[in-house]
Amino acid sequence: MIALVQRCKSASVTVNEEIVGKINNGVTVFVGVFKEDGEKECDFLAKKLSNLRIFTDNDDKMNLSLLDVNGEVLAISNFTLCANAKKGTRPSYDGAARPETANPLYERFCAKLLENGIKSVQKGIFGEHMEVLVSNDGPVSVILDTDKIMAKNNG
């Protein structure tokens, strides 16, 4: 799985001109699921995000996590994060999981965030065209790729 995490002051997602998710002070996370991903990657990513220290402490150092600041999460499914742009100018999305695999893992990821102690997890609508507004704070943006992180942690 891959996630683009953006620290934000506020964020919202709109589908068909209706706001379906909205947060204050936390992160917007765009989540992509690859064909080979499963529950192990999903659970790892949720734990990693919950504890990722990207919020500043009193000394203006990034030492605090979502849990420490009581932050919220706006989670947006985003298969385009699975793009492969190595050849030509049109990205290939062949590596992305099919919706029947990706959606349950996306839902599990959101549920695991709550289990990990995140107080509020708002979501977009899987497979829909969404308009996402993010008031990025910093800006602070981090890419979490389970292929790279889990391999490093296990090797």
Asked whether the predicted pLDDT for residue 6 surpasses 50, the reply is: yes
**Strands, E assignment, 104-147:** 121-123, 131-145
Residue from 93, 62, 60, 57 nearest 78 by CA = 93
Asked whether the predicted pLDDT for residue 154 surpasses 90, the reply is: no
The percent of residues in the chain predicted with pLDDT above 90, rounded, is: 96
Residue from 6, 3, 4, 73 nearest 33 by CA = 3
Q: What is the chain's length? A: 155
- The pTM score is 0.94
139/18 Cα distance (integer angstroms): 27
Asked whether the predicted pLDDT for residue 49 surpasses 60, the reply is: yes
Asked whether the predicted pLDDT for residue 155 surpasses 50, the reply is: no
Residue from 146, 140, 132, 26 nearest 78 by CA = 132
Under the banding of pLDDT at 50, 70 and 90, the label for residue 153 is low
Express each pLDDT in 68-114 by its tens digit.
Answer: 999 999 999 999 999 999 999 999 999 999 999 999 999 999 999 99
28/123 Cα distance (integer angstroms): 10
What pLDDT does residue 46 have? 98
Instruction: Determine how many CB atoms are found less than 10 A away from the CB of residue 83.
Output: 16
Instruction: Determine how many CB atoms are found less than 10 A away from the CB of residue 14.
Output: 16
Identify the burial level of 124 via C-beta atoms within 10 angstroms of its C-beta, where 0-12 means exposed, 13-18 middle and 19 or more buried.
buried
What SS3 state is found at 132? strand
What pLDDT does residue 151 have? 75
What pLDDT does residue 87 have? 93
Residue from 50, 65, 30, 46 nearest 118 by CA = 50
CATH classification of 2-154, choosing from 3.90.1200.10, 3.40.50.460, 3.40.50.2000, 3.50.80.10?
3.50.80.10
Q: Structural domain boundaries of the chain? A: 2-154
